[in-house]
Structure 1
């Protein structure tokens, strides 16, 4: 099982290069960053955060988890992704989502929230064409490209791996059509298994091989020697971040507890088809170093055998 970790969420982004280097040295496979324009808590721009992480590292893969594609013009997103892939020597992986948890950020970026899914589908179609480096003609509902080329294209050919996140049927259809990796969140292992099967059916309907679509899981996680304390702290942190009580869904959707409990829970997601897990630390910023150390020492080695 591949294991990635998200950069710690904090109002101070100066920690990113040092933390990225530390995660690489600890042996994690990926560094991830989510993003919002506006949200209930401090959040960076994911592509810029990963550029900082990429400059401080040499080998570890870099995943946007997730880029909110409806907040970008399609051509600009393609340009930024191609540049990031170039400056990191082909280490970038492009995770996309449609957003919607904070609708005002979509309106502020010029898109009606109800159009976010349709826009994302069209934008992905255009971005994949632009990644070829060939001239693109496109006149659609949201995007117009007038025979222009994206130069230079991404280092990776035919482009960085595309991850699609979400939990709804539309996201599964989108993953089947466009994605290399399907990554849901806030699901049980059983739901991950069924959603991955559905996404692979959509891949087959789109003329692709079902096996071409890999499975992953985005896991909000807090780990501690005192498992009960880790659980309580994780629920408290996420309740603030999502502006709702996460306690009622904690045992179904979150990964909280002692190292053994976390390994057992993540192993269940692996058995459900998640070949990669992206761990988002659900802990206070002051506890982040301790949590990352425990993930590296007690969780990561155990998951290598899953």
Structure 2
């Protein structure tokens, strides 16, 4: 099944109640499958958005939409408190959460200011994932590791159904992490060729360690959407340069801009590579048009993928 959602992290927390409700209703009415919320503690000078808080707002504001938290900076938090937050979210929206995690590190000061050595964040994430998976069972957990020690720790109620954990990144470490601890893989800034290769590598690594290969493969993709391709590129470049503080040309090969047809055609090779879950980080002249155009992308992509 092909699912398409839209990233709402810039609006879900800043909107008032009525406008937030209108946003979520528009997503549902457009036939989109989920919303995505991002997470940063303090990115490039203080920008940020708490993924758990945003997910709670989205789950409480829509009865059927699923919420992808991605990518959550798990390495910067304690897994015990994260497990508690996820348990609480599962009570608000059981079966409607996918938890995406990554090692972070794009802004080293964000990591170090959270009391984490940037050089150890990958190992810390691996340990956190093992703890989360254990706590998700509802059983008592004892753990004595490099970064965390738990003595008869337990989180009840355990998330039911279990919350899928999907791993972000395309490095060899992310491949190993997905095969060993993840329920799926979530890509961003990834070519279709790289996507194909990474899926193959994950399945090979899972087979090597004797674990069933994950079956959830997704892509978060920045895109500019407008009936005028030039306007789409301009609004996308402005958004990305403001956030990342880099020239748009650094991203343009992997961040399509154009009409919904243009973006759907860009995404089709990813479907052929095995991607089944798309999240559009849609840049448009208004949030309403962003959602409407994203819904058009879904409609066209579903038709294209069925031949």
**Global fold match (TM > 0.5):** yes
Taking structure 1 as reference, are residues 16 and 165 closer, same or farther at Cα in structure 2, changes over 3 Å only?
Answer: farther
Gaps of 5+ in 1: none
TM-score (norm 1): 0.93
Q: Identify the residue that residue 63 of structure 2 maps to in structure 1.
A: 58
Runs (4+) of structure 1 exceeding 6 A deviation are none
The residue that corresponds to 2:148 in the other structure is: 143
CA drift at 1:21: 2.9
Please identify, of 198-207 and 259-268, the stretch whose mean Cα deviation from structure 2 is larger: 198-207
Aligned ranges 1:115-130 → 2 under 5 Å: 115-130=120-135
- For 2:255 and 2:263, the matched residues in 1 are separated by 10
Offset of residue 25 of structure 1: 2.5
Q: How far apart in 2 are the matches of 1:199 and 1:271?
A: 17
Mapping of 1:205-284 within 5 angstroms?
205-210=208-213, 212-250=214-252, 252-283=253-284
Distance in 2 separating the partners of 1:175 and 1:164: 6
2:6–2:280: 8 Å Cα contact kept in structure 1? yes
Q: Distance in 2 between matches of 1:93 and 1:248?
A: 29
Tell me how far apart the structure 2 counterparts of residues 78 and 17 of structure 1 sit (CA, whole Å). Answer: 27
Contact 1:2–1:277, Cα closer than 8 Å, also in 2: yes
Q: CA deviation at 1:97?
A: 1.1
The count of aligned residue pairs is: 299
Deviation at 1:132?
A: 0.5
Check whether the contact 2:9–2:38 (CA below 8 A) recurs between aligned residues: no
Counterparts of 1:8 and 1:80 in 2: how far apart (Å)? 18
Q: Which residue of 2 aligns with 1:304?
A: 302
Matching of residues 65-214 of structure 1 within 5 Å = 65-156=70-161, 159-210=162-213, 212-214=214-216
* Counterpart residue number, 1:23: 27
Query: Secondary structure of the residue that 1:164 maps to in structure 2?
Result: strand
Give the CA deviation at 1:6: 0.8
> Is structure 2 residue 43 aligned with structure 1 residue 39?
yes
Counterpart CA distance in 1 for 2:9 and 2:233 is 18
Instruction: State how far apart, in whole Å, the 2-side matches of 1:165 and 1:261 are.
Output: 26
Asked if structure 2 preserves the Cα contact closer than 8 Å seen for 1:184 and 1:192, the reply is yes
**Where does structure 2 lack aligned partners over 5 or more consecutive residues?**
none
What is the CA–CA distance in structure 2 between the aligned matches of 1:13 and 1:67, rounded to whole Å? 21
Counterparts of 1:78 and 1:255, CA distance in 2: 36
TM-score using structure 2 length: 0.92
1:8/1:293 Cα in 2 relative to 1: closer, same or farther (>3 Å)? farther
Post-superposition Cα deviations, 1:93-112, rounded to whole Å, max 9, x if no partner, equal 11111111122222222111
| Contact in 2 for aligned 1:239/1:246 (Cα 8 Å) | yes
Q: Are the counterparts in 2 of residues 64 and 95 from structure 1 also a CA contact under 8 Å?
A: yes
- Does structure 1 conserve the Cα–Cα contact (< 8 Å) formed by 2:283 and 2:290? no
- Matching residue of 1:2: 3
Confirm or deny: 8 A CA contact 1:180 1:213 kept in the other structure: yes
Structure 2 SS opposite 1:137: strand
Separation in 2, partners of 1:101, 1:301: 34
Shift of 1:277: 0.7
